[in-house]
C-alpha cells in the first residue's frame, strides 16, 4: 500500500527567507508525486508534479520540488517566501505507470505554512 508522510504539522518562516516543506513517500515501483495547496474554504490547487526526468521540478508561484529516490523524498521549496504563500500544503503519491490501480492519489496529512513579516 502507498503512503505519504509530512512530518511537520506547521512550518513558520519569515517573508523573504527560503522555505522547505518536507514529504516522504512509500509506493511500489516508481512514484508519481504531486504537491497541492489549499487556501481557507477553497479546494485543492495543483502546484507541481514529478513523473519522470529531471529530479528538480518547477511549478506555480515560484515553487519547486526535488525528487530524491534514495531518500524517498519530495520536498517542496521556494527561495523567497511571501506572506501570501501562507496556506495548507499537501503532498500526494500514486504508483507510476499502469498498475491496474488507476490514478488513485494518496495524500499526506498536510503542513500548515505560515509566512510572517
Footprint of other proteins (CB under 8 A): 4, 32, 34, 36, 41-46, 49, 51, 90, 92, 94-99, 101-110
CB of 79 vs other proteins, minimal distance in Å: 24
Which is closer to other proteins, CB of 23 or CB of 81?
23
The C-alpha cell at 68 is 530524491
Single out the residue of 17, 10, 3, 20 nearest to residue 72, CA to CA: 3
Nearer to other proteins, 40 or 117 (CB): 40
Is 15 or 22 the residue whose CB approaches other proteins more closely?
Answer: 22
What is 49-75 written as a DSSP string? EE-SS-SEEE-GGG-EEEEETTTTEEE
Amino acid at each position: 500500500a502507498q503512503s505519504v508522510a509530512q512530518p511537520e504539522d506547521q512550518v513558520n518562516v519569515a517573508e523573504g527567507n527560503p522555505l522547505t516543506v518536507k514529504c516522504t513517500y512509500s509506493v511500489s515501483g516508481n512514484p508519481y508525486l504531486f504537491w497541492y495547496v489549499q487556501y481557507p474554504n477553497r479546494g485543492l490547487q495543483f502546484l507541481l508534479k514529478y513523473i519522470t526526468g529531471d529530479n528538480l521540478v518547477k511549478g506555480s508561484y515560484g515553487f519547486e520540488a526535488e525528487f530524491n529516490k534514495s531518500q524517498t523524498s519530495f520536498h517542496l521549496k521556494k527561495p523567497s517566501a511571501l506572506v501570501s504563500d501562507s496556506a495548507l500544503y499537501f503532498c500526494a503519491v500514486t504508483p507510476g505507470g499502469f498498475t491496474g490501480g488507476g490514478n488513485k492519489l494518496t495524500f499526506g496529512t498536510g503542513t500548515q505554512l505560515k509566512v510572517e513579516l
